[in-house]
Structure 1
Amino acid sequence: MPNPIATPPADEHTLLERAQALAGYTLAELAARANLPLPANLKCDKGWIGVLLERFLGASAGSKPEQDFPDIGVELKTIPIDDRGRPLETTFVSVAPLTGNSGVTWESSHVRHKLARVLWIPVEGLREIPLGERHIGTPLIWSPSPEEEELLRRDWEELMDLIVLGKVESITARHGEVLQLRPKGANSKALTQAIGEFGQPIMTLPRGFYLKKTFTGPLLARHFHL
């Protein structure tokens, strides 16, 4: 059984080998090996699976706004799947900047940086499977194709235009074909500054960029020939 690893992977090949070694194990087995308490559920511990896997993969970024494996330019994304390999929820990419966006471009954006190279690790996510009994799936390393990047860029530009124009409050999860913007905050008291409709400063909930299931579903299906 794999052991927690402190050293960051030297290259993609090493990272993928480490991830492949985890496939088939349950979350309880890995948590016991890592001495990490198993939460009752993920409601208050959204990032717990990612933290657990990082211990076996040697991630070094922590909560810094860079890729999880900055030395080799790879981001880790766990994705809960159903019994047919389909994603069960949207995938968080990064926090959206709501102020100071003059001159920001897709090329220099956090979203593009985070999605340039991704290690996807599917994890059983059906609610009827107790958390500890859920298995880790086969990993894949992915970069967006030119077509995928174009879809992401179009959505990002549309959403950023609305933010800059002071329309952040009117953005819904329906905006965007593959990328959506929605509130990201543990509670409704965690407000942040944004631009209002008349250019005035307003306080609003923090927002995050999320990949829609219509994007991650076909991505997984292509790779695993579902």
Structure 2
Amino acid sequence: MTFLSSLPLPPENEQQLFERAQALAGFNLGELASRAQIAIPHDLKRDKGWVGMLLELYLGAMAGSKPEQDFPALGIELKTIPIDAAGKPLETTFVCVAPLTGNSGVTWANSHVRHKLARVLWIPVEGERQIPLAQRRIGSPLLWQPNQQEEDMLRRDWEELMDLIVLGHVERITARHGEVLQLRPKAANSKALTEAIGEQGQPILTLPRGFYLKKSFTGALLARHFSI
């Protein structure tokens, strides 16, 4: 591929985005980082979003940390997914922060989760810990949108989890809730609290929560599309 002499503009269409993603397949993170003149972290413990940020540079994403899709003009979200040697996901996939207050009138149809997952460019990346970060290779991309069965599964889980949040049971929710979507604490530390609704309808402070796709869901998705 032609590597950047400067950062690319946002892709004009879906095909251009997909071709850019295909051109990255087979390169390792070290090659991409050095050509973009970006330092490689020692590991990803404190730099969880580093791989996604690196690929965003090459793909021309502009959203950054904004709550919109990574490619808003195309309606496409970018998700990197660490995989093992068998092509199976190594961790759950963060979707978005969960709203714990102000949820009147929010439905699945207008939810942030549905918006983020409407169309996703998945880019698998080698993720096994014994492979040094710089040597981890990028896999072939997949452009996905939920089929009816997947959408129904996501909607059911979202509705169950949101009902629990609205009814004041947020602190009872565990990672076992939900078939394909789960709600988990998402905070840099235990002091980063946010407002939520308690069991008596009173305001409480709790850890921020995020929606995550379970490995069983993303694993099945990758297996089906790549015939693993």
Fold match by TM threshold 0.5: yes
Alignment of 1:111-126 (within 5 A): 111-126=113-128
CA displacement, residues 37-89 of structure 1 (integer Å, 9 cap, x when unaligned): 00000000000000000000000111100000000000000000000000000
| Residue matched to 1:3 | 3
Q: Deviations over 1:163-212 (max 9, x none)?
A: 00000000000000000000001111110000000000000000000000
Task: Report how far residue 3 of structure 1 moved.
Answer: 2.3
Secondary structure at the aligned position of 1:144 is classed as coil
Residue 163 of structure 2 is aligned with which of 156, 161, 171? 161
Match for residue 129 of structure 1?
131
Specify the alignment match of 1:170 in structure 2: 172
Rounded Cα–Cα distance in structure 2 between residues aligned with 1:45 and 1:139: 22
Question: Following the alignment from structure 2 to structure 1, what is the Cα–Cα distance between the partners of residues 185 and 205?
Answer: 13
Say if 1:122 and 1:137, in contact at 8 Å, map to a contact too.
Answer: yes
The answer (yes or no) to whether the contact 1:2–1:22 under 8 Å persists in 2 is no
Q: CA deviation at 1:103?
A: 1.3
Q: What secondary structure sits across from 2:110 in the alignment?
A: coil
Give the root-mean-square deviation of aligned CA atoms. Answer: 0.7
| Partner of residue 141, structure 1 | 143
How far, CA to CA, are the matches of 1:203 and 1:194 in structure 2? 6
AA in 1 matched with 2:3: N
Aligned to 1:14: 16
Equivalent position of 1:182 in the other structure: 184
AA paired with 2:16?
T
Matching of residue 98 in structure 1 with residue 64 in structure 2: no
- Which of 3, 8, 31 matches 1:29? 31
Task: State whether structure 2 residue 74 is matched by structure 1 residue 61.
Answer: no
TM-score, with normalisation over the residues of structure 1?
Answer: 0.99
**Secondary structure class of the residue paired with 2:108:** coil
Report the Cα distance in structure 1 between the residues aligned to 2:205 and 2:180, rounded to whole angstroms. Answer: 27
Could you say what secondary structure the match of 1:80 adopts?
strand
Deviation at 1:12, TM superposition (A): 0.6
* Gap runs ≥5 in structure 1: none
CA positional deviation for 1:6:
2.9
SS at match of 1:66: coil
Percentage identity across aligned positions?
Answer: 74
Q: Which runs of 5+ in 2 are unaligned?
A: none
* 1:135 CA displacement: 0.1
CA deviation map 1:85-131 (0-9, x unaligned): 00000000000000000111000000000000000000000000000
Provide the C-alpha distance between the structure 2 equivalents of 1:73 and 1:50, rounded to a whole number of angstroms: 17
After superposing on structure 2, the runs of 4+ consecutive aligned residues of structure 1 that deviate more than 2 Å are: 1-6
Number of equivalenced pairs: 226
- What's the secondary structure of 1:107's corresponding residue? helix
